[in-house]
């Protein structure tokens, strides 16, 4: 008997009274394809940005989500519009503004350990991409950073506000 596909409950439950069932999406109760879930979250977030938060219609025609672009463990610099990769000593080894990789000189200027303290790599200016479900946020944020830089009049919000809007639209 294969028990992998069974769900166990330690009490009786009248399903006739249940109107919705939710899942903690960490493979606890069901198998799913992460790329499909991430793409769904990404597409829904674009629609919400336009329909509910007043972003330009061009957002809807952004290129498709690339699930291979970002990995867990990266950090969003919400103030500067960057996605950064740090080592365990908080040295920034890689940084992208939108999708443009910053040079070593640019990284050193922005993230010099003598000017940024260890503690400052937290909220409110930074956010860690610590779950698989935050990856669509990073991708969409990077796309919007590029759009803001290319068309500042259409995107008057700060990078910080854009990130907050992305988070609001994904959740």
Residues designated as active site: 24, 26
What single-letter DSSP state applies at residue 63?
A: P
d(CA 55, CA 47): 9
d(CA 111, CA 151): 26
Q: Is 125 exposed, middle or buried (0-12, 13-18, 19+ CB in 10 A)?
A: middle
Residues 121, 112 contacting (CB under 8 angstroms): no
C-alpha torsion angle, residues 62, 133, 52, 18 (rounded to 10): 140
Token pair recorded at residue 39? 């793409």
Whole-Å CA distances, 71 to 39, 68, 103, 110, 132? 15, 7, 20, 22, 8
């Amino acid at each position: 008997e294969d028990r992998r596909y069974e769900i166990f409950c330690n009490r009786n439950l009248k399903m006739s009274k249940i109107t919705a069932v939710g899942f903690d999406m960490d493979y606890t109760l069901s198998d799913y394809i992460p790329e499909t879930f991430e793409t769904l979250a990404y597409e829904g977030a674009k629609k919400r940005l336009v329909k509910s938060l007043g972003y330009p219609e061009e957002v809807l025609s952004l290129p498709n989500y690339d699930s291979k672009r970002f990995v867990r463990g990266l950090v969003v610099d919400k103030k500067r519009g960057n996605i950064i990769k740090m080592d365990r000593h908080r040295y920034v080894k890689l940084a992208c503004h939108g999708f443009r990789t910053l040079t070593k000189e640019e990284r050193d200027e922005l993230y010099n350990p003598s000017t940024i303290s260890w503690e400052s790599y937290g909220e409110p200016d930074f956010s860690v991409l610590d779950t698989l479900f935050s990856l669509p946020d990073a991708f969409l944020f990077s796309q919007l950073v590029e759009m803001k830089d290319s068309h500042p009049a259409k995107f008057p919000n700060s990078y910080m506000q854009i990130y907050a809007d992305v988070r609001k639209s994904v959740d």
